[in-house]
Amino acid sequence: MARVLFFEKPGCIGNGEQKRLLRAAGHQLEVRSLLAEPWSAEELRRYFGTLPVSDWFNRTAPGVKSGTVVPERLSETEALRLMLADPLLVRRPLMRVGEERRAGFDPAGVDAWIGLTPAALGRDLEICPSTGAEPCDETPA
């Protein structure tokens, strides 16, 4: 199984479920706070691969929800500048296995990449279980 570097928002219920599923599939996780990591634009950019800029964003981040940040109107450079200033804007989780990096948690994509148990497939694991928002921004009390 894989050794996964997993960047989360500490306390995020959705990230907790994603970690549980990865561990159930036999993966070893090294968990870090997305918010505390000293990101550079170059390193953060590597996690987004070929995703369009609008898919780099956490749609429930306060700036996106309020309309202050409109991901569809941003260039890569603008998006990265905003994310470095406010890591809550980054779509979670960020995961790295070896040299390959990914943003978000699409179960079918993760299964094809490193493998998941059948129970994880067909579920939307970027929907917050406590609010139904996408992705989870709830922190348990």
List, by residue number, the catalytic residues: 12
User: Are β-strands 100-103 and 3-8 bridged in parallel, bridged antiparallel, or unpaired?
Assistant: unpaired
Per-residue burial over 12-39, b if 16 or more Cβ lie within 10 Å, else e, is bbbbebbbebbeebebebeebebeeeeb
